[in-house]
A = this chain, B = another copy of it.
């Protein structure tokens, strides 16, 4: 196992923050590019190598990134990269990059910096529950520190220049990961997601862009980062998140009324029964059933399981995490069996 691989099996993901009944986590990231080096997509090897070397060198001086927390992608196994991706620390794209990609990761896993992903530098601050402002404070500190040591590509009209125009300006994306099972159950989710785009927000699934909303988990974020300052972008995502928390909470109350109530409780307890007993289970099904348990907890049902355990299982039942825990490559049936065993162990009464 590589040094950059997180030590704690489930990291901060198991913690619960503000509004954690709906908001799983918050994240703010900044996109930055080094002056006079071409964007990673142009694939100029010398530029990519220079950027990676320069950023890693600079990072050594920062107290957050001690030795071992600075990593070149080729030094990480495909499994380690997959694990980092499953923890939402690096993107699918960086996980696939085994040439000049890099990662800075502090011990708490709350301030990951990706190097040579879509942009030269993507620094992020994240944490449990609704905590965009706290994340932003940490991130802006890191950004200031970096900005003093690295010459960023900046334009007086367009702000920070980025590979994709939607990231120009502040280069900021604020996002929250939301659990919206009641809005899915009542079919209200579609209208709500459509409404989001009119408000300048984008909605995605569990693994970010283009991914399916596994387990009723949605990521919402500002759609563009130009023309507004950082604080107002964060405020926008914060406000819409709070509005979605309200919608979801109301929908949960509605489905807790007759005749929905028995149906909902039935679905929740059946999910518990399956998770406590299955001998083989795929990740998608596990996510769907865990989502129902999470809903059940918020409806006040006695499931003998904590939200923290559910959060943790959402991470640990992913393919690479299971493979790492077993210490060997697993066939799909074996992985499904390992997942079922892990769920049984953690959900036993």
Contacts and interface: CB of A to CB of B under 8 A. Distances in A.
20 contacts: A262-B279, A262-B280, A262-B337, A263-B280, A265-B279, A266-B278, A266-B279, A266-B340, A269-B277, A269-B278, A270-B273, A270-B278, A270-B279, A272-B273, A272-B277, A273-B273, A273-B275, A273-B276, A273-B278, A274-B274
Closest CB pairs A-B (n = 7): A273-B273, A273-B277, A266-B279, A269-B277, A266-B280, A265-B279, A273-B274
A210 interface: no
B279 A269 contact: yes
Interface string A322-348: 000000000001000100100000000
A276 B333 CA distance: 26
Contacts of A259: 333
Contacts of A276: 273
A274 B280 contact: no
A9 to B, nearest CB: 25
A290 to B, nearest CB: 14
Say whether chain A's binding surface is mostly helix, strand, loop, or mixed: helix
Contacts of A277: 269-270, 272-273
The oligomer's copy count stands at: 2
A279 B262 CA distance: 7
Interface string A268-293: 01101111111110000000000000
Given A266-B278, A273-B273, A273-B276, 16 more contacts: A262-B333, A263-B280, A266-B279, A266-B340, A269-B277, A269-B278, A269-B279, A270-B273, A270-B277, A270-B278, A270-B279, A272-B273, A272-B277, A273-B274, A273-B277, A273-B278
A105 B272 CA distance: 44
A270 B265 contact: no
A316 to B, nearest CB: 20
A279 B266 CA distance: 4
Contacts of A275: 273
A340 B266 CA distance: 9
A34 B279 CA distance: 59
A53 B280 CA distance: 62
A272 B276 CA distance: 10
Contacts of A263: 280
Nearest to A264: B279
A31 to B, nearest CB: 45
A270 B272 CA distance: 10
A275 B278 CA distance: 13
A151 to B, nearest CB: 58
With a 10 A CB-CB cut-off, give which of A259, A262, A277, A278 has the most chain B CB atoms: A277
A273 B265 CA distance: 15
Interface in A224-255: none
Contacts of A340: 266
Nearest to A276: B273
A322 to B, nearest CB: 16
A277 to B, nearest CB: 3
Interface in A182-240: none
A273 B277 CA distance: 6
A207 to B, nearest CB: 27
